[in-house]
Amino acid sequence: MLAAIFDWNLAVEAFPQLLVAFLKVTLLVTVVASLLSIILGLVWAIGLRQLPAWLGWPLRLFLDFVRMTPIPVQLLFVFYGVVVFRPRVDALIIGVIVFGVHYSTYMAESYRAGIESIRSGQWEAATALSLPATRTWRAVILPQAIRNTLPSLGNWTIAMFKDTPYLIFIHVAEMVTRAREFGGMKFSYIESFTIAGLIFLAASYPTAVLMRKLEKKLEY
C-alpha cells in the first residue's frame, strides 16, 4: 500500500535537489538573518531603555509596526520598493534583511524581558562602584540578561527557519518552492514534500537540543 502512494525512486531523485536548495538558500538565509536579528534586537532593547522619551517612542512605534505586519507584506513592500531604484539588487539579500529586521523586533522583546529580570540590586551595586554605563552593561547586565533570554532567542531562530518558504513571494526558490516545482514536473508531490519536511526536521531538532544543552550549561 505504501509503494502505491509513495515512489521511493522519486524521493531519491528529489533529495539532492532539495538538499542543495536547503544549503544555498534556506540555511543561508536563516543563519545570516539570525545573526542580524540577534544583534539588532539587542540594539533595540538597549535603545528603548537608554534613549530619552522623544527618541524612544518613535523607535517603539517602528518596532510595533514591523512586529505586527506580516512577513509576506514586508517582503513585497521592500522588494518592489527597492527594485524601482535598484533593479539589479539580489532578492536573496532583500530576504535576509527583511527576515533579520522582522525577527529582531521579537528578539528585542526577549532581551527587554531578560534585562528587566535583573534584580535592582545589580544596578545599585554597579552604581555604588561608580562603574561607567558601558561597563555596567557589558560586565554586569548583559551576561545575565542573555543567559535568561537564550531559550527565547533559540525559539525565534527556529521560527524564522520555518518561515523561509515565504521567500517565494519575492521569487527566491528556497527548498519548499523547489519541492513544489519537482512535484509539478513529476506529477506527484508527496515524495518531494516529504523529503523537504524531513530535511526541516533533521535541521531544526538538533538545533532545539543544542539550545537546551546550552541553556543548562549557562545556568548558575
Domain range for 73: 2-217
Does the pLDDT value for residue 7 go beyond 90? Answer: no
Q: What rounded mean pLDDT belongs to the chain?
A: 89
Its pTM surpasses 0.75: yes
What is the average pLDDT across 14-21?
A: 95
Is 202 in contact with 19 (CB distance < 8 Å)?
no
CATH at residue 199: 1.10.3720.10
Number of domains in the chain: 1
pLDDT-derived band at 4 (thresholds 50, 70, 90) equals: low
Contact (CB, 8 A) for 122 and 141:
yes
At 62, the pLDDT band (50, 70, 90 cuts) reads: very high
Q: What is the pLDDT of residue 148?
A: 82
The percent of residues in the chain predicted with pLDDT above 90, rounded, is 57
Phi, psi of 171 (to 5 degrees): 65, 35
Q: Tell me the pLDDT band of 194, cut-offs 50, 70 and 90.
A: very high
Residue spans of alpha helices (H) in the chain: 2-5, 8-21, 27-50, 53-68, 71-85, 91-116, 120-128, 133-135, 142-163, 175-186, 190-217
Q: Please indicate whether residue 141 or residue 18 has the higher confidence score (pLDDT).
A: 18
| pLDDT, tens only, 121-140 | 888 888 888 888 888 888 88
pLDDT classification of 211: cutoffs 50, 70, 90: confident
